[in-house]
Amino acid sequence: MSPLPKSEARGSGGLPVYGLASSCGRRRDMEDAVSVQPEFLRQGCVGEAGLHFFGVYDGHGCSHVAEACKERMHELVAEELAGLRHPVGAETEWKAVMERSFARTEEELLERCNGAPRSATCRCEMQAPDCLRVGSTAVVAVVTPDRVVVANCGDSRAVLCRNGVAFPLSSDHKPERPDELKRIQAAGGQVIYWDCPRVLGVLSMSRAIGDHYLKPYVTSEPEVTAIQRMEEDEFLILASDGLWDVVPNGLACKVARMCLRGTAPPLSLGPGAAETGEGRAGGSDRACFEAALLLTKLAEVRQSADNVSVVVVDLRTTSSPRPPSTRKKKAV
């Protein structure tokens, strides 16, 4: 990932401007989950103002790990931040916060799996050993007044559009990635090709939350990136691999940019939450909503074989409690 230059953060106050869309696509079941948590820190926390949480979780084997991440990940991140006596600043501090949050999520899931009652609503019925074979990716972003912090585990992805250029803020965790292959082999595991490279011939990603039967080869430790916000920042896309498998980063940013500039073709669905048999869509802003929805439709047209979930966050208008810059802002 290329280093990004530093510049001044921007923002206009208020809650985050975002849109989201999810589609079951060609899959029988919907196993993705999406979380949007504006102002997710409790009142009284150090540095509570202007921190917003976004997450995309792509489950496999069943949906309950992704749903558990949706329910708890932002709460655990908030608890870790609340335990600090100062506003978190350095990337190393954010890395520690995210690593602890992901580890706690993993621990809670294992406890829940080992002691869970039978559930008629869960395909694997939450029973060991079946529930030990369920997992989820996790790509989460905390947007602050001056930073974008991304933590990733798996092959979902976060991409920043800065002045029209796509910058990936996460790297997919694939078994064939040289550093991941080396880590798996050092732990005593193997990567076997079975229609694609897979850990022990089973899982096509090298990191995930859950999948306890593949430990320690599949780890839940995230990779964390924290960047300074710039005036040139336009928007952030978080999405499951149902999008990225068929839509390159640059094209995704081009499509979303058209929507945010009002130059994309009109869509039939309006803003606000909409539950359908294929997924859901909604958000706080029509342009972001249409960007997320258009990207899911593009993935479907390109024959994505997976669930597709997309969140688009407009960084031009997302909250910043600091006074606006006195210098002239650049066009976006």
| DSSP per-residue codes, 293-325 | HHHHHHHHHTT--S-EEEEEEETTTS---SPPP
- The token duo for 325 is 């810059």
- Cα–Cα dist 63/57, whole Å: 9
pLDDT of 330 reads 36
Query: Using only C-alpha atoms, what is the Rg of the chain?
Result: 19
Q: Which residue has the tokens 């929507």?
A: 259
Average pLDDT over residues 168-194: 97
Q: Is 221 exposed, middle or buried (0-12, 13-18, 19+ CB in 10 A)?
A: middle
What is the distance of C-alpha 175 from the center of its chain? 20
Average pLDDT over residues 131-141: 92
Domains along the chain?
17-171+220-314 (3.60.40.10), 174-207 (no CATH)
Half-sphere exposure of 244 (CA within 13 A, CB side): 21
Q: What is the 3 state secondary structure string of 192-233? A: EECCCEEECCCECCCECEECHHHCCCCECCCEEEEEECCCCE
Write the pLDDT tens digit of every residue in 259-291.
999 887 776 544 433 333 345 567 688 899 999
Write the pLDDT tens digit of every residue in 35-85.
999 999 865 455 556 899 999 999 999 898 999 999 999 999 999 998 887
Average pLDDT over residues 189-197: 96
Write the pLDDT tens digit of every residue in 157-179.
999 999 999 999 999 999 999 99
- Cα–Cα dist 202/182, whole Å: 18
pLDDT of 326 reads 36
pTM: 0.85
What pLDDT band is residue 211 in, cutting at 50, 70 and 90?
A: very high
What pLDDT band is residue 318 in, cutting at 50, 70 and 90?
A: low
pLDDT of 47 reads 54
What integer best gives the mean pLDDT of the chain? 84
